[in-house]
Structures are given as structure tokens and as C-alpha cells.
Structure 1
Amino acid sequence: MLLRILPVLALVGAPASAQDGTAQVEAETTRVVFETTAGEITAEIEIERAPATAANFLHYVDEDRFDGTVFYRAMHLDWGKPPNGLIQGGTQNDPERILDGVVHEPTDETGLSHTDGALSMARLEPGSATGDFSIMIKDQTGLDAQPDADDPDTAAGYAVFGYVVEGMDVVHAIHAMPRDPDKGEGWMKGQMLAEPVTIIDVRRVEPAAD
């Protein structure tokens, strides 16, 4: 089963998170580049504000566990100005690639938010995230922790651990690729790319000089 991110209905009418705008606060990050068959995506990984989630992701990076995996999902939302939704990629529960699940770091503790370009861990229940992740297209703050929610999944939200700083055009291009109407399970049916985009390499890089 593919690791999930909240169903589309969970995003409808979701209130803006109290963390909105905090992504601008200076904090220590490290930079990675995704080299894909569609182009390069550069992200800043939040090693200070989301230390456990960032360390998990970087463990996969440093051991080349993402190399040869794919972006396989493009979720399109039918409200707001397109493109709107997310793309998802990673290890897809490959037993040769995945590590133990990482402790859940909710956004109400990290101060991060599912804003445009945010990287977020896919999971089943909180604490089960391994090597699958999503990249937000437009603000999807309904995926932030909602501590007052009755539903435990909604209350926990999803764990943001970084933000795209270059290459959102590549993210948009992947999102726009054809989807197979017959692929996917349950409410994810029809969200799978007909031809997944290969992640050739993910590596740490130094920020460009000013």
C-alpha cells in the first residue's frame, strides 16, 4: 500500500495554521538537490526546527537510498488557481531501501507549515513515516497539526521538514504530467503518474555564493 497524505476532503476549507509565515524565521538548514529526469529541484532541509524528521530524510540521502526511486503521484485539487495540490515520491516501502519509522514532529511544535514548496513526510499513523515524501503546490495548511480536532490524524497533521528554494518549475512540470486513471488504491486512484519520474540522485550541496 502506498503511504498516504490526507484525503482531498481534509484540505477543503481548512483554517490557516497559526504557524503561517514562520518559515521566514532564520534557522539552520542544509541544502539538497534532487536530480530527476524532469530537471533539478533544490531544497533547504530544516535540521534545526525539525531535527528528527530532517535527520531521517538526510539518512536516506547520505546512503543513496533515494537514488533510482521515482516521483509517482500527482494530486490535483480542483479549487483555487491551478496548479494546486502536491507531488509525492520516494521509496514506496521497498524493503531494500526503507529504514525504521521516524518519530512524528507536528507543525505546532516545529513552527513549520505546509506552504507552497514545503516538503512533508508521507505516513500511515503518526510515527510510521519512512522514505516517502510530498512537495506542496500552493499552500496546503490543512495538513498542519490541528490540535483541537477530534480526529487523531487531523490533530497530528503531517511533518514538514524543508522547503523548495529552486526548481518549482520542475515540481509543476511533474505535477502536470499525465496520470493513469486506473492506477492507485482507494481515493488515490487516478492520482498516479502514467510514467513516473525517476529520481536519479539526491545529494547535499553547498549554497551558492551571494
Structure 2
Amino acid sequence: MTWITRALALLALLASPLAAQDAIADSPEPRTELVVLETTLGEITLALEVERAPITAANFLRYVDEKRLDGTVFYRAMRLDWGDQPNGLVQAGTQMHPDRILPPIAHEPTSVTGILHKAGTISMARYEPGTATGDFSIMISDQPGFDARPDSSDPGQHDGFAAFGHVVSGMEVVRAIFDAPTDPEKGEGWMKGQMLADPVRIVKARRAN
């Protein structure tokens, strides 16, 4: 190898970290699609991660486009009494109504999508992985316990829940739903006492213009 070749190789090594940084800086943000939920307490605008969580986001958009969420409600406020307050989530959707639900979708774990359960994140409700249909939750606070942990010794934590977007405006509406009174007699099992006494109606859900 001549001294010129060596010099060129050294320059390439020195320049590569800067080139990599420039490439990262110039890379576009993952594509999202905006959806507005018009509720009786105000509007909530969501950015759905159609690029990073394509299956889950497309499922939600189908519910929106087919007007299957119109007239559904926010029916649950899960309030956790530990950690920084407020702590918990609100839940809404089709509640397995036979005229509204679509077939279940494949599970997209956070370990694949990279979308973590932070405050304002929207995530699919489910029973077992692969059973999500038309119910969803919005995080009031960070919920790392909902993220997938494939290396956990607890098999129940391997898959986590499928996060697929976040609130871009209207968190004050989400908080108002969270703060609405619950009925201590409504709900079953560990969800008893988490159901809103007067569910908050989703008047309509539409893609933003």
C-alpha cells in the first residue's frame, strides 16, 4: 500500500463518523397520519405511526374511515396510586360490539416498532397478543410496564402492548376524561371501580385535512 493509499484510507476513517452523523440528521422523521377525535369534552388530535407500526395504525385508520368509532365512548379511567401523579390511562372504543368490530390484528410489540408507552401514547387494548380489535388506551403518564420485554423472566411481559401513535393536541381533554367520576359498582374483576359513571362520547373520528 502506497503512502497515498494509506492517507486516503485514514481520511475515510476520520470522516466516516461525521458522515454518519450527517446522514442521521438528514434522515426524515417516520411518517404519521393525523386523526381528530371529536368528543363531548373537546377534540383530541392523534399522530398515528403508519410507518413504524403499519399494521396497528392501518387498523385504527380503517375504524376511522368506516366510521366505526363514531358514537363510541371513553368508558374507563385506570388510576394508579403509586409514582408521580396523575398516573394511569383512559380507555375507549368499540367494546366488542358485533356491528363495529373488525377481525383481530397481528401484534406489533414495542421491541419491534420502537414506540414506547410515554405520556400521551395511544396503544391497543387486548386480551392475548393478536386479539386487538377496536379498543384503545391513551397514557396519562409513562407506562414502561406496557412495553415489550422479550428478555424478562416473566413470559407475560414478553410481548407488551402495541403502541402506535401519540397525542399532538388535546391532552387537556384526555386529562378531563381521566378526572371524570367513576362508578364504584361498575366493572368486573380488577377493573371494578374504573368505569366512568358517565362515559365520554366520541362524536366522530376523522382523518385531519
TM-score by length of 1: 0.85
Which of 185, 189, 197 lines up with 1:186 in the alignment? 189
Which of 97, 100, 124 lines up with 1:121 in the alignment? 124
Q: CA deviation at 1:135?
A: 0.1
Q: Secondary structure in 2 aligned to 1:162?
A: strand
What is aligned with 2:3? none
Which of 60, 65, 70 lines up with 2:68 in the alignment? 65
1:15-36 CA distances to partner (integer Å, 9 max, x unpaired)?
A: xxxxxxxxxx820000000000
Between Structure 1 and Structure 2, which shows a larger proportion of helix residues?
2
RMSD between aligned residues: 1.0
How far, CA to CA, are the matches of 1:156 and 1:116 in structure 2? Answer: 20
| Equivalent residue pairs, number | 182
What is aligned with 1:36? 39
Q: Which amino acid aligns with 2:110?
A: T
How far, CA to CA, are the matches of 1:44 and 1:112 in structure 2? Answer: 12
Give the gaps of 5 or more residues in structure 1: 1-24
Structure having the higher Rg: 2
How far, CA to CA, are the matches of 1:154 and 1:81 in structure 2? Answer: 23
- Residues 126 and 153 in structure 1, CA contact (< 8 A), matched pair in contact too: no
- Residues 125 and 153 in structure 1, CA contact (< 8 A), matched pair in contact too: no
Q: Secondary structure in 2 aligned to 1:173?
A: helix
Q: CA deviation at 1:141?
A: 1.1
How far, CA to CA, are the matches of 2:194 and 2:77 in structure 1? Answer: 5
How far, CA to CA, are the matches of 2:182 and 2:152 in structure 1? Answer: 33
How far, CA to CA, are the matches of 1:152 and 1:127 in structure 2? Answer: 16
- Percent of residue pairs bearing the same amino acid type: 64
1:177-197 CA distances to partner (integer Å, 9 max, x unpaired)?
A: 000001111100000000000
1:1-57 CA distances to partner (integer Å, 9 max, x unpaired)?
A: xxxxxxxxxxxxxxxxxxxxxxxx820000000000011000100000000000011
1:107 equivalenced with 2:117 (yes/no): no
Q: Secondary structure in 1 aligned to 2:185?
A: coil
What is aligned with 1:201? 204
Q: CA deviation at 1:79?
A: 1.7
1:33-88 CA distances to partner (integer Å, 9 max, x unpaired)?
A: 00000110001000000000000110000000000000000000112332210000
Give the gaps of 5 or more residues in structure 2: 1-27
Which of 160, 165, 168 lines up with 2:168 in the alignment? 165
1:96-123 CA distances to partner (integer Å, 9 max, x unpaired)?
A: 0000000000000001100010000000
TM-score by length of 2: 0.85
How far, CA to CA, are the matches of 2:175 and 2:200 in structure 1? Answer: 13
How far, CA to CA, are the matches of 2:131 and 2:154 in structure 1? Answer: 17
